[in-house]
Amino acid sequence: MDDLNGRAVLDALQSLSSSLDLVQTVDRALAGVKSVVDYDRVSLFVRDRERGGAVVCRRTKVPGDGAREAPKPDLEKGLVARAFKTGHASLSGGGNLLPDADHSGMVAPLLGGGGRVMGAFLVESHHVDTYRDRELDNLMSFSRAAAPAIERALLFDQLGSDRRLSGEIEIARQVLTGLLPSEAPKLEGFDIAAIIEPAFEVGGDYYDYIPLGNDRWALAMADVSGKGAPAALVVAAMRATLYALAKRELALRAIIQRANEFIHASTGPRAKYVTLFYAVLDAHARRFLYINAGHLPPIVLRQNGEVELLRSGGFPLGFFDNPRYFEQFVQLRTGDMVCLYTDGITEASDASDEEYGRTRLVALLREQQKASASASAICRAVLRDVTRHSDGAPADDATLLIVRAV
């Protein structure tokens, strides 16, 4: 995606996150497609979450004109039907809406929480063979980044005006749940797993895996200040921003600097900030390149028992308009373990107000390492121990991500 207009993409995603109105959010998504691909017509169809998946919002746009209601899509055949049925992006020599026979189109599904197909982008051209895999990948990346904001607007629309205030926490919870990856990367030589235990009041914990190709994956963990729907909206914007930047194959410090610029500009008066740990795991080189933007330092537990803390980076995102960030790397060897975590783990307190702390966490990780436990088993063991220590549900979201070099 190195040919994309990065500023235009970020502006489009920021615009999406500023509205709760479904039609307005969809129209802004349509306007943003121009930042990733050319078209003669672009349409977006959004499905209902409950009533059998009926299309509840259908909008279309041509260059130089505003969006308007789209014709009903054919849900039995064609590109949109294919996306709804399979959840996969695809190319075709013919589309759904343009009257010409000699034209081309492509479709990208809009995936909500749990991978549910909640809609589809349809892009069409008056010319044949306009689109190839590169354009399809760009459209799919934009669809993934736009999905959280559209799902949030859809949830808000379907709650109804009499339930909206009381449903704020549920909206936030569903938005955050939908952002979490459905499975961990499967990389030769590594065992990766994560777990999150949400508190009663929704917080701003977030983790993600972003495929970069060639056995390289970006791993991210963030914690947004505050709770409830405002924190959930910042998390959604953070995820979209990271995904768009990561796919452009920028240097780590450029990604973090631009993410900081976005968060600083978006949240200024509301004083929101984000702690972020962002890393690229190169499975072939067994190297972990990272920047820590004010997040709790991840723990590297070596096979020989040595402990390292990954502190290098800079300030949390949003504090300053143009801070400097520094990247660092660690070489991982067989038996080493990396643990990313949020303060819901280390700051969980017992009845005497004693925190769980990093010392307990390291001790438990060392026990699990000696037992050669899997990454998923380590996640469960830590969460059980934190729950036991705090005698119940955590007061804050508790999130853990484990990377084992095997």
Q: Which residue has the higher pLDDT, 310 or 197?
A: 310
Q: Which residue has the higher pLDDT, 227 or 3?
A: 227
320 contacts: CB under 8 Å, gap ≥ 6: 260, 264
Tell me the average pLDDT across 242-254: 86
Q: 108 pairs with which residues across the strands?
A: 121
CB atoms within 10 A of CB 170: 14
- Note the pLDDT of residue 198: 73
Q: How far is it, in rounded angstroms, from Cα 237 to Cα 259?
A: 10
What pLDDT band is residue 269 in, cutting at 50, 70 and 90? Answer: very low
What is the per-residue pLDDT across 316-353, written as a single tens digit (0 to 9) for each? 998 888 899 999 999 999 999 999 999 989 988 888 88
At residue 266, does pLDDT exceed 90? no
Q: What 3-state DSSP class applies to 33?
A: helix
Least confident interval from 10-14, 51-55, 200-204, 336-340: 200-204
Q: Which residue has the higher pLDDT, 8 or 356?
A: 356
What is the per-residue pLDDT across 384-401, written as a single tens digit (0 to 9) for each? 999 999 877 666 788 999
What pLDDT band is residue 99 in, cutting at 50, 70 and 90? Answer: very low
- Note the pLDDT of residue 18: 65
- Note the pLDDT of residue 59: 95
Q: Which residue has the higher pLDDT, 201 or 127?
A: 127
What is the per-residue pLDDT across 148-158, written as a single tens digit (0 to 9) for each? 888 888 877 76
At residue 307, does pLDDT exceed 50? yes
* Alpha-carbon 56 to chain mean position: 25
Task: Compute the Cα dihedral for 111, 116, 119, 120 and give only its sign.
Answer: positive
Q: Are 326 and 253 in contact (CB under 8 A)?
A: yes
Domains recognised in the chain with CATH numbers: 6-159 (3.30.450.40), 174-405 (3.60.40.10)
- Note the pLDDT of residue 162: 43
At residue 37, does pLDDT exceed 50? yes
Least confident interval from 214-218, 226-230, 263-267, 275-279: 226-230
Least confident interval from 78-87, 305-314, 333-342: 78-87
At residue 93, does pLDDT exceed 80? no
Tell me the average pLDDT across 65-88: 89
What pLDDT band is residue 237 in, cutting at 50, 70 and 90? Answer: confident
Tell me how far CA of residue 334 lies from CA of 176, 304, 306, 338, in angstroms.
Answer: 34, 11, 14, 12
At residue 201, does pLDDT exceed 70? no
Q: Which residue has the higher pLDDT, 35 or 11?
A: 35
CB burial readout 42-81, b (16+ within 10 A) else e = bbbbbbebeeeeebbbbbbbeeeeebeebeebeeeebbbb
What is the per-residue pLDDT across 358-373, written as a single tens digit (0 to 9) for each? 999 999 999 999 999 9
What pLDDT band is residue 69 in, cutting at 50, 70 and 90? Answer: very high
At residue 79, does pLDDT exceed 70? yes
